[in-house]
Structure 1
Amino acid sequence: MSMVANESRFRVTGMDCAACGNKVDTAIRRLPGVEDVTVSVSTGAVKVRHADGFDAAAVTRQVRNLGYGAENADAADPATAGRHGHDHAGHRHDHPAEADLPWWRTKKARLTAACGAALLAAYLLGHLAPSLERPAVLAALAVGLVPVAWRAITAARFGTPFSIETLMSIAAIGAVFIGAEEEAATVVLLFLVGEMLEGLAASRARASIQGLSSLVPKTALVEKDGQAIEVPAESLAVGAVLLVRPGDRIAADGRVVEGSGEVDEAPVTGESVPKRKSVGDPVFAGTVNAGSVLRVRVTAAAADNTIARVVRLVEEAQESKSPTERFIDRFSKVYTPAVLAVGFLIAVVPPLVVGADWSEWIYKGLAILLIGCPCALVISTPATIAAGLSAGARRGLLMKGGVVLETLGKITAVAFDKTGTLTMGKPVVTDVVALARPVRSILSLAAALEKGSSHPLALAILERAKADKAPVPPAFDAQAIPGEGVEGKVGGEAVFLGSPQAAGRRMALGEEHQARIAALNAEGKTVSVVLVGDEVAGSIAMRDEPRPDAREALAAMKAEGIRTVMLTGDNRTTAEAVAGGLGIEARAELLPQDKQRIVRELQAQGLVVAKVGDGINDAPALAAADIGIAMGGGTDVALETADAAVLHGRVRDVPDMIALSKATMGNIRVNIAIALGLKAVFLVTTVLGITGLWPAILADTGATVLVTANAMRLLSWTPR
């Protein structure tokens, strides 16, 4: 049986921080037949690799025992059960899962409200009947503490004895024994408020990426036998033809087969200017038809459209941990038992050694337990990584996990492919040299001969004729002459369009014209000469031009001290001409293995190298680089070889991706400083007797909320 067949996916609700994830991970690993477990707190997904004959129901039972909601995503999602069992974001079930409820209706919010109400009632009762105050406060404490203590006991039973709930329960019960039950009840309430806020922040991070799924409309108009029938978007098959009216969202990835008009891609790409689409152009699910009626042939089923793949990639990326995150996970496993030990020593040593007051030092020891809660520290990194990955995905910058996001900020050299990466990937007419005929006439004659041809140079001439509104008259007896060009009759005149060498064999090209052609060739341009009757009408030069944002993007990288180099299989003249215009060093006439060799040479010089290419002939170099970035138009992104991808094929997305990585790593450093800094301050003030139990838990809750809020700031990240 293959590994994928032995992999089950589960949807778990109620996990709000990495500590929850660790509890679930540890509990599932104890089940017989489990080989590996991957828990993603940010997406609520759990992946279990297991032996044959494994009972998947045991996983849901084990997770529910810990107090979390759990269901088998494979069983719940028949569309994907046969494949990976991906639980696509936005996927809903008949009964409302905890994750689908508004925050104030979740279990945690209800428990917090009950505990708060009980505590308020106890204070009021205490004022009216002082003798009843203590039992009322103890009852209020029990409302909040019993569920917390029960979670501590179950976590210990399933392999996590040193949980945050354990620290909390010991501190609260200990406080009751030294007569500080009012503080204990306040501490439990603050702890529950903190947990509820964590849940709210975690669900916001989750919703941010799942919001992409809701961009795809639920229904689509499909043309069948000349009629438009409304069908569910999920059921669309490849090859179906959609009718997209002005203002409609496009329901699937596809190609325009009829009509032309503007399509607003802002929801998916963040690109503010609508893009003009005509027959043959690709369109993406979730974009809005802003112009006239379009007919679109579907090229990808619902589960494989651009948005579904982005969501799936981000979910998978959030499951793979960054180096910082792995370190903090290991650190927190040692940290919690160490906090228990320190708390115990502070409570016991001063009274035993110097005869200090037992109740005062036990109180300080309990406060240390609360200060030691590793919540804020443990959540500091995964929350930020999840927010960074989501912020990137919403702008078409896909990164496969925390490691990639972390490494991107360290890049010191970027190697670019030329065709289709730095350039548009198709030739355009750059110059029309008019000799015996005016410019529009030359374009008309050339376009007449090329009409109907699908050769890239022919398409460039037809495009320019259309842009310049040059009329395209019919051509008669038009035929291609292999290796030379095309000839035919236009308006009764014999016309030839072909290479300068072939034109020179038919009639003499003047010295001045030859010099002009040589100059255009030196700029890396392909020149075609137009002959009409017995005169040289003029010539047309074409070249694959750089993308409009390429120069600015390369300059931005240079300003950051990043070395840029262009690697291309194209001839040296063309490569140097394009590189000269962009201000980048060029290496030309390379085979795929040469590109890989150059990447390795740059690494040998101590540079951290990113390779940007279209991923097909660049596969060896993409794999060799520290980070491989695929440049792609949504559907055919070479995501398999690459570590990251820019979906919208903009060169400026590469420096933006590096900037996002730096912003994310800066955010993580601030978070760790907040988490550890607040602990250090309260540790000192508690030992000195300045602060007590409830300021300690308030500091911990406050740090967790601050850290999460700081991480969420990344969701609104925009490139400069």
Structure 2
Amino acid sequence: MSDAATLDQTDQAQTRLRVTGMDCAACATKVENAVRRLPGIEGIQVSVATETLTVRHGPSIDARAIAETVRGLGYGAEEPDVSTSTDTSTAELPWWRSPKALLAFACGTALVLAYALGHVAPTTERWAFLAAMMVGLVPIVRRAVSAARYGTPFSIEMLMSVAAIGATLIGATEEAATVVFLFLVGEVLEGVAAGRARASIRGLTGLVPDTALLERDGATEQVPASALRVGASVLVRPGDRVPADGVVLDGESAVDEAPVTGESVPRRKGPGEAVFAGTVNGDGALRIRVTAAARDNTIARVVRLVEEAQEAKAPTERLIDRVSKVYTPAVVGVAFLVAVLPPLVVGAAWAEWIYKGLAILLIGCPCALVISTPAAIAAGLSAGARRGLLIKGGAVLERLAAVTIVAFDKTGTLTEGKPVVTDISGFGRSERDVLSLSAALEGGSSHPLAKAVLAKAAEAGAPVPPAFGTKALGGKGLTGKVGGLDVFLGSPRAAAERVAFTAEQEVQVSALNSDGKTVAVLVVNGALAGLLAMRDEPRSDAKAGIDRLAAQGVGAVVLTGDNARTAQAVAGALGIEARAELLPEDKQRIVRELQAGGAVVAKVGDGINDAPALAAADVGIAMGGGTDVALETADAAVLHGRVADVARMVELSRRTLANIRANIAIALGLKAVFLVTTVAGLTGLWPAILADTGATVLVTANALRLLRMPAG
């Protein structure tokens, strides 16, 4: 997406700006309210997490007017034509050089000077503190007026301005100046906390190296990693970061995937295996064929999905947004009543109760409450993304916590998606001979079963002699000559047409079939020589993942189109139920039946035939290696294909909801305590601003704890 305003086919323009200085949802609301008042605005998306503003508008509005409106609120905004990139990872100034920090420093310095001057010349004390207050208050008032002009009259800046000016009018000038300074310090702390949250996901983009060693015409040349095209061959030296998603063409090495997946142990990679951009090559050189352009690699997809997800509000966040619209005016009303009723009704001192009313204004600032949910949601989404758990928005993150049963696809989800040789038996020949002769016939075939035989031969170090006159017999098997021997490899039924099985051999074949395995029989010179059994085996972590779900009180079931025998064998090994021989509509129907029975269903799959069930489920989860259709239909994705990651996703959701509840308790609890103590005359303006600022910082810091989610 370009920052420049561009016209699409419907004469609608789109402007994307980088907006700096937004620290919480209240800031985003001010920006949204202001821009929405401009003529011709069709749609607005504001993301605090990515510091972006995306506006769809008619061609009549000048895109620069949008930037000027944002600047009028006191935020920074890049001109629409400054950049032609969607990258918002521009280096930020250190927090202590930010405009808010410089303003707080100036106000603090003026406050110290005012205290000093007050001691030296007491008669000037009031004016010194008034001057110190104005250093910080003037910019605040300016922002308050702008916000009110653009549709947000009850902003935090407006409440702060009223409280400071009111305190000055009743003679509490020193306190007013100190409160202004504390408010500015609070804004700086909010900015630091928000910056940390943004850096957690923005740091992902820095994992991909700037350059790559491209192989071309027998030589290597250094090129920008962003220029790599699909199909290009690159060399990754030991210790280098992988510059793109790809498949290993040549070489073998231990690859550290911790920066992307959180895995603590490097994984051995060899020819044919996938590698991810941003991972670190270990002890051997790798030649890699690029499978995804820079904008579509693993890191880019993670960042893009998280950015989109953070713009989708969770139900709790939407509820708090609605409450806050009533909450702030209500606080103003309560503060007014506290200020005027006691003096009018019982003749209490006006200065005392106006002071209390002003303190309540500060206590009632909604920042901590408004940020309580989005801060936790953003941190939760970022924590998941860094571990390959892509969740498309806060609503999905909340729903995951309620899941009671997970419906898994089998092939490519609970299993690796490719058969492996599990059993080898020789009849009058060694297992090594059986494997060699079978592999000789399968050489050159791309069939999954052939690949399984060849992979097993390579693993066992069995020689693969050349085969001559190899011929495929449709639906039956292969024939050919190997070393002067007539060799046939095929199904038990086809082999039975060529040679008689003993009763013991028939029992063995039947037992293997009952285990859900595909059996291939080897016949050499008209005699039964051996057999191979193959099956798509469960992923190495499948049982641990299912057990981890069970420990959380979440059940599991297998929904598959495969035959019942194979499905039962896999499900039995995992200790769960299987429903087999299902069409796509059958999977969807079963999901609906589970929901009708009161279950909250998560559906996990990786294929086109899973798309209807993924869409019907309460939460659809795509396995990362799956089809684009599955990824687009799903609400979430397990990027690295680990069954245990489904359980981790549920755990993350529950931790996030617990964090949100704690944040709301902190925000409202502190306000309730200081509201009572203020009315009772125990606390004043200073504790009031500390209650608001302190609650905001505590809420943000608590949310950031989610970023430390354990990898295991």
Q: What is the TM-score normalised by the length of structure 2? A: 0.96
Q: How does 1:187-586 map to 2 (within 5 A)?
A: 187-586=179-578
Partner-residue secondary structure (3-state), 2:582? coil
Q: 1:76 to 1:311 in 2, by over 3 A?
A: farther
1:26 is aligned, of 26, 33, 37, to 33
Deviates more, 1:484-493 or 1:19-28: 484-493
* Aligned ranges 1:695-706 → 2 under 5 Å: 695-706=687-698
1:608-665 Cα distance to aligned partner (Å, 9 max, x none): 1111000421111111111110012389583211110000000111111011000000
Q: CA deviation at 1:292?
A: 2.5
Is 2:53 the partner of 1:61? no
Per the TM alignment, residue 10 of structure 1 is displaced from its structure 2 partner at its CA by 1.6
Distance 1:635 1:504, change over 3 A: closer
- Root-mean-square deviation (Å): 1.6
Deviates more, 1:472-481 or 1:391-400: 472-481
Give, in whole Å, the separation in 1 of the partners of 2:655 and 2:502. Answer: 59
CA distance in 2, matches of 1:569, 1:654: 21
* Counterpart-to-counterpart distance in 2, 1:366 and 1:342: 10
* Structure 2 counterpart of 1:626: 618
SS of the residue corresponding to residue 609 of structure 2 reads coil
Deviation sequence 1:50-79 (CA, Å, 0-9, x none): 223332111101000011001256x34435
Q: Measure, in 1, the Cα distance between the counterparts of 2:13 and 2:420.
A: 52
Letter in 1 for 2:148: A
Greater CA drift, 602-611 or 193-202: 602-611
680, 685, 689: which one aligns with 1:693: 685
Secondary structure at the residue paired with 1:78?
coil
SS at 2:622 equivalent: strand
Greater CA drift, 479-488 or 306-315:
479-488
Q: What code does the residue aligned with 2:67 have?
A: T
Paired amino acid for 2:684: G
Classify 1:235/1:626 alpha carbon distance in 2 versus 1 (closer, same or farther; 3 Å): same
Q: Which of 7, 14, 31 pairs up with 2:21? A: 14
Instruction: Give the superposition deviation at 1:239.
Output: 2.7
For the 8 Å contact 1:436–1:535, the answer to whether it is kept is: no
Q: Confirm whether residue 45 of structure 1 aligns to residue 72 of structure 2.
A: no
SS of equivalent residue, structure 1 residue 464:
helix
- Quote the residue 1:124 is aligned against: 116
For residue 96 of structure 2, what is the aligned residue in structure 1?
A: 104
Task: State the Cα distance separating 1:719 from its structure 2 match.
Answer: 5.4
Post-superposition offset of 1:531:
1.9
- Indicate conservation of the 8 Å contact 2:20/2:77, yes or no: yes
Partner AA of 2:393 in structure 1:
G
Equivalent pair of 1:237/1:298 in contact (CA under 8 Å): yes
Could you tell me whether the CA contact under 8 Å between 2:245 and 2:292 is conserved in 1?
Answer: yes
- Map of 1:181 onto structure 2: 173
Letter in 2 for 1:6: A
List runs of 5+ in structure 2 lacking aligned partners.
1-7
> Aligned with 1:639: secondary structure?
helix
What's the secondary structure of 2:591's corresponding residue? helix
One-letter amino acid of the counterpart of residue 32, structure 2: D
- Which 5+ residue runs of structure 1 have no aligned equivalent? 80-86
SS of the residue 2:489 aligns to: strand
Give the structure-1-normalised TM-score. 0.95
Number of paired residues? 705
Contact residue 198 and residue 708 of structure 1 kept, 8 A: yes
Query: In the aligned structure 2, how far is the partner of 1:467 from the partner of 1:298?
Result: 26
Contact 2:51 2:88 in 1 (8 A): no
- Tell which deviates more after alignment, 371-380 or 433-442: 433-442
Q: Secondary structure at the match of 1:619?
A: helix
Relative to 1, partners in 2 of residues 1:377 and 1:4: Cα closer, same or farther, differing over 3 Å?
farther
CA distance in 1, matches of 2:481, 2:154: 88
Instruction: Name the counterpart of 2:641.
Output: 649
- Tell me by how many angstroms 1:505 deviates: 1.3
Question: Is the Cα–Cα contact under 8 Å of residues 254 and 266 in structure 2 kept in the other structure?
Answer: yes
- What amino acid is the match of 1:78? T
Give yes or no for contact 2:147–2:153 (8 Å, CA) kept in 1. yes
Give 3-state SS (helix, strand or coil) of 1:61's partner.
helix
Same amino acid, percent of matched pairs = 68
Range 482-491 or range 151-160, more displaced: 482-491
**Equivalence for 1:71:** 78
Find 1:613's aligned residue among 605, 608, 611: 605
Deviations 1:655-689 (A, max 9, x none): 11011000000000000000000111110110110
Name which of structure 1's ranges 202-211 and 549-558 shifts more when overlaid on structure 2: 549-558
For residues 420 and 635 of structure 1, the distance between their equivalents in structure 2, rounded to whole angstroms, comes to 11
Question: Post-superposition, which runs of at least 4 consecutive aligned residues in structure 1 deviate over 4 A?
Answer: 1-5, 634-637
Structure 1 range deviating more: 468-477 or 350-359 = 468-477
Asked whether the 8 Å contact 1:89–1:311 carries over to 2, the reply is no
Q: Separation in 2 of the partners of 1:615 and 1:166?
A: 54
CA distance in 1, matches of 2:500, 2:493: 10
C-alpha distance in structure 2 between counterparts of 1:3 and 1:654, whole Å: 41
